[in-house]
A = this chain, B = another copy of it.
Amino acid sequence: MLKLAMIGSRGHFGYVISCLPGLSGKVEVIGISSGCEDPIDRLRDSLREIGISPAVYDDYHELLGLKPDMVVIDGPFEKHAVMAIEALKQGIHVFCEKPIALNLSDLDELTKVYRAGKAKMISMVGLRYDGAFACAKKLVDAGAIGKIKLVKTQKSYKLGVRPEFYKHRASYGGTIPWVGSHALDWIIYFTGSCPEKIWANQTREDNFGNGELEIAAQCQMVLKNGVMASASIDYLRPASAPTHGDDRIRLAGTQGVLEVSGGKVKLIDAEGERFVDVPECERELFSDFVFDVLGERKAWVDGEDTLNLTRACLLAQESADSGELVLWH
């Protein structure tokens, strides 16, 4: 039985909640903590709804002291790295909200600690596990579009009403790492490469009173394998739109063009243009990680992917902040 600790509920801890019932007998939640001044209610109530009522710890250090096998980190964004480092140093596997670090010095430290130990670590790149994107990935890997030349991704969200911590760079981290991480993750995932050179832009103007939150951003990069890629990121999706997000990827290759948009997969190849049937994704993010930790199968994402994605996001943000081209470093 894998002993699980859970810290915080600021982001996508729901990935864990939705998987826990299917993991009964394999995973036991041994305790929870909000990891900060946030009330514990959200996390505690979500667990209660699936019949789990673990002990609550005010101090997350105490919770880690119970020697869980794995910890879910979803506390304050600015504490992701320090909490992950603390857990990794104790050999605890880490399932962390993205971005796993808000700045490069935290990321460097995390990288060092992760590589020095044996504990596994991933961040919550749940959109690798979306049916349409998973289906598209399989097609691309099977050679459906030949050699990838050009990739475009899009994340467009409804702004809605954001908690106060989104309004400050120090506690939010920025729109490129937060919203854009998915867009950049698809680029890395589909191409199997990382950015060599990035130029990114962002703006806080017209952000509807959300302080330092960037309302929109764009990133363009050339990857180490020569593929050209770009990401369009915004909070400008109208409240009336049918879904919260408008997630897209377009891949143009030497033998075809493949797109995901609106949950559909469209392929144009030698046979013509058509929509491909999208089966439900056969894996889920959190349980995929659990099975990996248990040695049952390799997950679709690993620690190095997580470090690369976080670095790509932070370098894109460095470019947007400085206005300059940034080389991978």
Contacts and interface: CB of A to CB of B under 8 A. Distances in A.
Interface of A: 147, 149-150, 152, 154, 156, 197, 199, 201, 203, 205-206, 215-218, 220, 222, 226, 228-230, 232, 234, 236-242, 246, 250, 252-257, 268-273, 323-325
A277 B180 CA distance: 33
15 contacts: A149-B234, A150-B216, A150-B232, A150-B234, A152-B154, A156-B252, A205-B226, A218-B228, A230-B232, A232-B250, A236-B253, A237-B268, A240-B269, A240-B273, A242-B272
B270 A238 contact: yes
A312 to B, nearest CB: 16
A216 B149 contact: yes
Given A203-B226, A220-B230, A149 B215 contact: yes
Contacts of A197: 323
Contacts of A238: 255-257, 268-270
Identify which of A156, A201, A234 gathers the most chain B CB atoms within 10 Å of its CB: A201
Question: Copy number of this protein in the oligomer?
Answer: 2
A273 B203 contact: no
Contacts of A206: 147, 149, 254
Residue among A156, A197, A216, A252 with the most chain B CB within 10 A?
A252
Contacts of A269: 238, 240
Contacts of A255: 238
